[in-house]
Structure 1
Amino acid sequence: MGVHDDQSVYKFTVPASLIPESLFRLGCGLVNPEISNESVERELLSGQFRRQIPAQDWLERCSGNLTHPYNRMAKGAQKTIRSYTSEELKTRLIAFFNENYSANLLKLAIVDSRSLDELEKLVAAHFGSMRNLSINQLKISTHPYEGTLMGVKVRSNCLSLGRKLYMVFPLPEQTKLHLTSPDMLVSYLINNRCKGSISDCLERRHLSTNVFGQLVNRGSVGFDSYCVTVFHQNKELEMAESENKIITIVFRYLAMLRQIGPLEWLYNTFRVERRKGQTFDDENSSTGPRWKLNPLQYYCDQLLECHMQRYPLESLFTARYALPEYSPRAITDFLEFLKPDNCKVFVSGFGTDESHMCTFLSPDGKLCCEPDGPNFCSMEKLKPELIATCSAAWPSSSCEFDTELKLPKQNLFLCSDFSLRPDETTDQQPQGPRLLRFEAGPHTPAARFWFQQDNRLQTPIVFISVDLVTSPEPLVTDCASSVMLDIFVVLLVDQLNSLESQAKQVDLRLKVSRSKQGIQVCCSGYRQPLPSLVAAALSRIFELKITEHAFRKARRKISALEAQKTHKTDLCKSQLAMLLNSACSWHWSYQDKRVAINETTLESFMIFVQRFSSQIQLSSQPQRLVSEDEDEEDKRTDAAVAVMSLWSRISLAEDEEVVEESSALQQTLQEEQDQQQKQQIPRQLFAEILVYGNATAKDAEAASQIILNALPSPTQRTTETTFEAVRRRVYLLPSGSHHVLS
């Protein structure tokens, strides 16, 4: 049970089998409660009516308007509950119940697996007889700070706030802004820890370890407050000076936001971050494992109570989450409230124990630490020079912090459209993805394009995979070529590592893995930026540069992975791979793969890459080849050995001092290329592209063109029948997908 200034909340978590009995007991207590002398004495003995108010909350009430209803508990009552007799308390409780408990104010939420009809019958049976007095909801139209001094620093006389500094701004009620929630955008920027953020600027000066801004919900409707909490590292001798620096940095950041003004891409970044924080697969989710196990339970525990009081029923789950509206005016208006002359700063008293956070016990009005003297706190106006610095236009040459404070960088793969696409599915469509036809020019890479719209899950997510294989001969013919393909994929993973991190920041996923006869690039996320992410990944693959150090590092990684496998697991994975028609790397024994790894050299690996592509060109650039004896030195210097541009260009290095060492490798590669030309083997890439999810056929065709533009043009087109066995309709995911076996 939770008691607030204007509402009482009853919360129960019981087994599903006890839901009917729990509703019966709760209904009896709300419809016809037992209020007798015995029940009053029983509750007095339990002591559950006591409340512990945090010191910061108590200081806010003390510094506010003491005639305001919200601040009535700022000081201890002259006559407390224990001063009344049981009969007097019973009379007061009955009067309170008769005045405030009405059916039109009751809001009930039940989370259960029963049908809606069953739950409605239970609620009607137990709560249907509750009287309706048509009482208006209690709403306080004025703020508790109204009529008090603003732009002040409130310092407690004896209370410790636990190494925290609070900056509180009074606001009008923000309930009607739940579709855009400008306070959440400001909180996202204040809480950000990127370079140029408030946290970064404070940490550089060893002033703070963390900053946190949020809209404060005091359980009251009619007014709101916004609070910036700074976890400081002040020393007592420098306490006042450090506090002023913290205040200045926060206000200079807010001045920067006002000067730059609303930016739609910044709002979309916040929207993505908001959605990303409430997903099931994010390992670093700030909400922790409890949200992943039961997101509805987490929502009910943390948000449902406030949402039921403030928002209409149709917005109960989407308020302050979906955020469908971008309102520059609302953001501008909100920032105007966050100024020095509309703020109270709350700090600990000098000489207090900062490791301890004080509390105020209600209704007795007792503090955990007694003050020295009659005054509980002191209030001082912020210095004029401090207010002038905080209020100056941004940027100001007189303020050293303005050159450090910056906005987060814009992500190139940011989504701005989270809408669901219209359903185009029909009963005549075949099961699984369907083959789409599109016009292909003479320079278009050989490709087939598959598409299936999601008409079941109804999420804004799209999955795109690109399988790249060669023709006409298979790439993997033995254990050695399979190992080389594994090494090649490891190099590609390292090449795409930074791009994968950039995509993850905006809730997109990027993976590159090996398939049966080539490589596969898989992306998932929001529809709008996904084709550009796939194209960027393919472009980076084609610009891959290989050094001897990188090759040896990849080979060691493959060797370490294979060494971890036992014969039993190797046999099980091999059998499972054959059943799923998955990657060939599991079809050979561990002993064969270990021998193949040890025998793989840079020369044989480059020849394998040349077999993978018919567009190999050699070029000379001054580089240095590193011998096996210098492997440890390689780890520190990462000296370049060979530069390869995959499929479109591959270049090897040579240096005037090591011409004799590199010429042998170049000659071998040239002989391999000449031999292929004599045999007239028309090797080229073939792409299998799949789009599945929240997209229409036109969206998929547009995505295919973006992806095809990132692929190299072939020298000769390949007929579709050559690759007829690469994909069948019954398979949704490509053969060898990392989603099948990870």
Structure 2
Amino acid sequence: MAIDSEKQVSSSDSTIVRIVDNIKKSECDTWNYRGLELSNDMLVVLISHPNIDKAAAALDVSIGSLADSRDVPGIAHFLEHMLFMGSSKYPGENEYAKLIEGNGGYSNAFTSGDHTNYYFDINPSLLPDALDIFSQFFISPLFAASSTDRELEAVNSEYEGNLFKDIWRIAQLEKSTSDPEHPYSGFSIGNSESLRTTPKQRGINIREVLLDFYKAQYSSNRMSLAVLGNQSLDELQSLVIKSFKDVPNNKLQKPKYSPDPYGEKNRKTICYVVPVKENRRLTINWVIPDNKELYYCNPESYLSHLIGHEGDGSLLSYLKQLGLAIELASGDKNSAPGFNFFTVDLELTIDGLNRWEQVIYIVYQYLAMIRKEGPKEWIFNECKNLNAMHFQFREKERPDDFVSNLAGRIRDYPLTECLSGEYEMREFRPDLINEVLNEYLIPSKMRVFLASKEFVSIATEKEKWFGTQYKKEYLPDALIQKCETYEIIPELHLPKPNEFIPTDFHLFSKEKSSIRPQLPIKIKENELYRLYYADDSFYKLPKTYLYFEFRNPLGNVDPIHFNLNTLYVELIEDSLTEVAYPAQLGGLQYELTAINYGIQLTLYGYNHKIKELLDTIIDRMVHPKLDSQRFGNIKEKVKRALQNFRRDVPYQMAHFGVTYLTAEHQWNKDELLSCIDGITMNDLESFIPQMLTRFYTDSLMYGNLTKNQAIEYMTSVEEKFQEKRFYQPLFPGMWFNQRELILPDG
């Protein structure tokens, strides 16, 4: 819904060049928006609503670690830390932190390849004070020498905290093995070696490097600001002008980087990687063009939709049939002005690891099938309509996340589309889809990363910054040539039109909008279930939340039964993938979880088709499709998760440890791991009817549904279980509640 219009400001107001009051927003959005272009070329979006709990602001600088000095890698990230350490107007190191944290607020920042983003939230009444301190980071930061060593330790601690995380290790390996002349190959996070030891050895003054980087890279014409408050738009505008009009404009050019971060000699290569955890991952990367300016065509989104699809005929579905893969993700990533990447990331089975060349070949057969079929406008339109629906009914984010994300994309789109730009798909351009598919997603331009503990004996190289063991070599010529051929595989085909896309967005609640969500009330109780319900008169969205706890202590009587319950749930989820993925695209999510007292099922999303998904899930629980190959792969996946617990970060292990010590009926990971190998498919087939014969259901239903619909949904669940004579009342001795010790003070 557009309001008012864009207008130029008269020359008498020298601080504002342009005001944009027609920012596109959804009809459900009750917040008010205004865009500004200041005379110093800073772009601003103001957001106003009288009933917010937290005010928030974020400033994004369109520069990041890709601009690091080669001599001092990590300097952009270090600068992000140092800006918090006082300014000429507010010289106290902790003035900003005291104001924010002392008034129920939160602040943070992050550095990416081409962005540095600073954000906070706070009690709305203190937004003016916080904005004034915040703005001084970008006007007159101190970079005090007394703060340098302390913040350098903070940067190094951040580095050490990520040192044994595979996602960081493999990401840095990909960079370090790229073209050494391209800034993408740098070390972005920084540590004490790159920021203290090496500069000191070379006679480099790190504070001077910080000052030089700030002067060379920070400028108001690279900055975007988002401010959320309960003041009116005019009041917010005055606050912003007062605080940010003096941010200097050095008239810096928009950075643009070389389009090829890999370089010719790094293509057609494979890195065998030794991970920290028990993982088997195959990742294929290609460099593709930076199409950000053609956001309304979005060829990458079209291709990602098909390659990452998990329904019938999909790449993942076929790899699962062959027992080669468990999960797949696909899409563009890490884009920066000048270049972008497209990636296919697969979690392999043991067999898939041994046959990784066949997996790559099948990926290219799927790409060949897409080429042969050609770009389909109906698929583009389906993606377009889904995006429009998600924008129309998008939910509010946390205030700090909202302004941070918004500030980061303001310069990617026209100000009028700063909210809608990432959802826009207006123009079908088959030529752009074909260009990416035919010129970039080809065998001769791929890089492959294959991660497994099994490569420890051959991984003779070590990445400098994270110490990751790897071996890099060229892919076999025979594989490249084979991947350039096309074989018709009947199991690989385009998806069918999605039947889970909702078309009815009618709101059932006739209540006026409430200030707070309603508390649920109990609407039915018997020997089989207890049902709580509340309709949505607060969010006013065509969405529903369904929650079920199927309570039976059998799934936790000993570690073997807990593992059996976990395997049952995992196999149900695995077998539902082809159905659940289209539902997910249509805005429906579900989660099935093994818990200490049974099974937990959660569904959430657009209410129009949620009953169909609920029926499908319960049908599959009652009639599970058990297959020995899938059972073996899922059992191995569960086992790996148990083994990887010891390699988790310490705070996660400590969190589990506290629960284990205080909770009743809690098995530790070693106990679960000790008996997983002995479980057979026959054991699982015997367990399932025992688990489902007797249980009690606690249920909560909230959102855009009536009381009668809630009872209808619960009755349907009851009837589906009872078709196979499941779902009888628990015996009195089977009742128990999850309990934890109350620890005394001190």
TM-score if structure 1 supplies the norm length?
Answer: 0.49
Larger-gyration structure (1/2): 1
Q: Flag the structure with higher strand content.
A: 2
TM-score under structure 2 length normalisation: 0.49
